[in-house]
């Protein structure tokens, strides 16, 4: 004999539980759909960006033990979503491979730090202290404080290993370098939602292209046009024979179909040297989605990759140690 479903709770608690029932089930089913479709179509893209595996796993693990009697058949959908999310996290999103050895490689080191600074709204003085401790050669700040020079004040010279100066501020990004000399180059073509500029580091070797990218966080902004614009730029510049680094807050998960044109020419630094680090970069204190990326071409070896959290921003920062190969 089938057991009767438990009577629903009454009052505001009952209303909250009923809302959680429906939202949890909707999230699980939407996650299963976009696990296959990804973000090919704009309506599905909104779900794809929001229904991240850690969020689905967390909601599902709370949803299942509550034993909602009115949704017995739906439990299988939620359980399936939990299983798929767990596999995604452990076997796909988290890269266990560590950095490659560089003992035999000829080249020059470059420590690149990228951080969405959340406009310095939280603790701007901690931003400066944190970056000083990172000892970067090049810093790219997305959503930097305004004005940027006040971020370091009198200690601005100490940023980096050889002193620092502000290089460029454009498109809600600020690029700072230690002793690196920069030359401005033609950036990728404009596209909706794309903020971008490009420079060439004169050294090491014959130089390195660095492309700073910021894509608007609005989930209704189609990621295809801006990322395709950057991919075309990379393809055109490959003929110059210089290594290429693309870095920034792309506001696009790593598994997005719109990253594929760019990934035909470049590798994600995290995938080369993730080392088992939790890959998600936003939002702190519980990051659930990976939106900040560094991509590198042939001729750039990733010898260190770290994602670190701070109370100074709602994004984790990327600290990537690169070896620019001078003999290829």
Residue 277 lies in a domain: yes
Which helix (H) or strand (E) segment is 229 a member of? Answer: helix 224-237
157 has pLDDT over 60: no
**Number of domains into which the chain is organized:** 2
Top-confidence residue, 13 or 101: 13
Phi, psi of 259 (to 5 degrees): -85, -10
Spatial contact of 168 and 144, defined as CB atoms under 8 Å apart = no
Average pLDDT, whole number, for the chain?
85
Output the pLDDT for position 168: 55
Spatial contact of 273 and 99, defined as CB atoms under 8 Å apart = yes
> Is the same domain home to 89 and 142?
no
Residue 201 lies in a domain: yes
**What contacts 229, CB < 8 A, 6 or more positions away?**
188, 189, 190, 191, 194, 196
**83-87, 93-97, 124-128, 312-316: least confidently modelled range:** 124-128
286 has pLDDT over 50: yes
Which of 42, 59, 93 marks a domain boundary?
A: 93
> Is the same domain home to 254 and 159?
yes
88 has pLDDT over 90: yes
Which of 64, 93, 122 marks a domain boundary?
A: 93
> Is the same domain home to 88 and 16?
yes
> Is the same domain home to 180 and 308?
yes
164 has pLDDT over 50: no
- For 210-236, the pLDDT digits (tens) are 999 999 999 999 999 999 999 999 999
Output the pLDDT for position 69: 57
| Four-point Cα dihedral 12, 14, 19, 20, nearest 10 | 110
- For 94-140, the pLDDT digits (tens) are 999 888 766 566 778 899 999 999 888 878 778 888 888 898 888 89
**pLDDT (average), residues 46-53:** 92
295 has pLDDT over 60: yes
> Is the same domain home to 122 and 216?
yes
% the chain with pLDDT above 90: 56
> Is the same domain home to 165 and 80?
no
Output the pLDDT for position 35: 94
Biggest CA-to-CA distance, the chain: 79
Output the pLDDT for position 144: 85
> Is the same domain home to 163 and 248?
yes
> Is the same domain home to 86 and 153?
no
**pLDDT (average), residues 195-203:** 87
185 has pLDDT over 70: yes
Output the pLDDT for position 89: 96
Output the pLDDT for position 133: 87
> Is the same domain home to 111 and 86?
no
159 has pLDDT over 50: no
> Is the same domain home to 81 and 225?
no
> Is the same domain home to 154 and 70?
no
> Is the same domain home to 170 and 30?
no
**28-32, 109-113, 154-158: least confidently modelled range:** 154-158
287 has pLDDT over 90: yes
Range of the domain at 213: 107-325
Top-confidence residue, 70 or 120: 120
């Amino acid at each position: 004999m089938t057991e009767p479903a438990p009577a629903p709770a009454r009052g505001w608690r009952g209303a909250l539980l009923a809302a959680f029932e429906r939202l949890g089930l909707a999230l699980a089913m939407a996650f299963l759909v976009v696990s296959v479709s990804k973000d090919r179509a704009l309506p599905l893209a909104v779900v794809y960006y929001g229904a991240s595996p850690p969020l689905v796993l967390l909601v599902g693990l709370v949803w299942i033990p509550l034993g909602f009697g009115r949704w017995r058949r739906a439990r299988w959908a939620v359980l399936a979503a939990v299983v798929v999310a767990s596999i995604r996290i452990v076997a796909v999103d988290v890269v266990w491979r560590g950095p490659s050895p560089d003992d035999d490689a000829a080249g020059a080191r470059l420590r690149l730090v990228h951080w969405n600074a959340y406009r310095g709204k939280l603790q701007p003085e901690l931003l400066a202290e944190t970056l000083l401790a990172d000892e970067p050669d090049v810093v790219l700040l997305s959503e930097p404080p305004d004005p940027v020079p006040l971020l370091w004040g009198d200690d601005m010279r100490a940023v980096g290993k050889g002193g620092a100066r502000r290089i460029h501020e454009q498109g809600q990004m600020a690029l700072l370098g230690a002793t690196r000399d920069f030359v401005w180059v033609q950036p990728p073509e404009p596209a909706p939602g794309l903020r971008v500029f490009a420079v060439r580091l004169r050294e090491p070797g014959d130089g390195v292209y660095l492309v700073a990218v910021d894509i608007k966080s609005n989930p209704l902004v189609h990621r295809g046009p801006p990322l395709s614009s950057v991919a075309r730029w990379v393809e055109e510049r490959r003929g110059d024979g210089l290594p290429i680094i693309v870095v920034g807050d792309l506001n696009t998960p790593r598994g997005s179909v719109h990253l594929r044109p760019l990934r035909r020419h470049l590798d994600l630094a995290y995938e080369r040297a993730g080392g088992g680090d939790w890959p998600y970069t936003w939002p702190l204190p519980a990051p659930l989605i990976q939106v900040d990326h560094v991509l590198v071409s042939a001729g750039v070896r990733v010898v260190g990759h770290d994602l670190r959290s701070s109370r100074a921003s709602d994004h984790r920062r990327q600290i990537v140690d690169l070896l620019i190969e001078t003999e290829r």
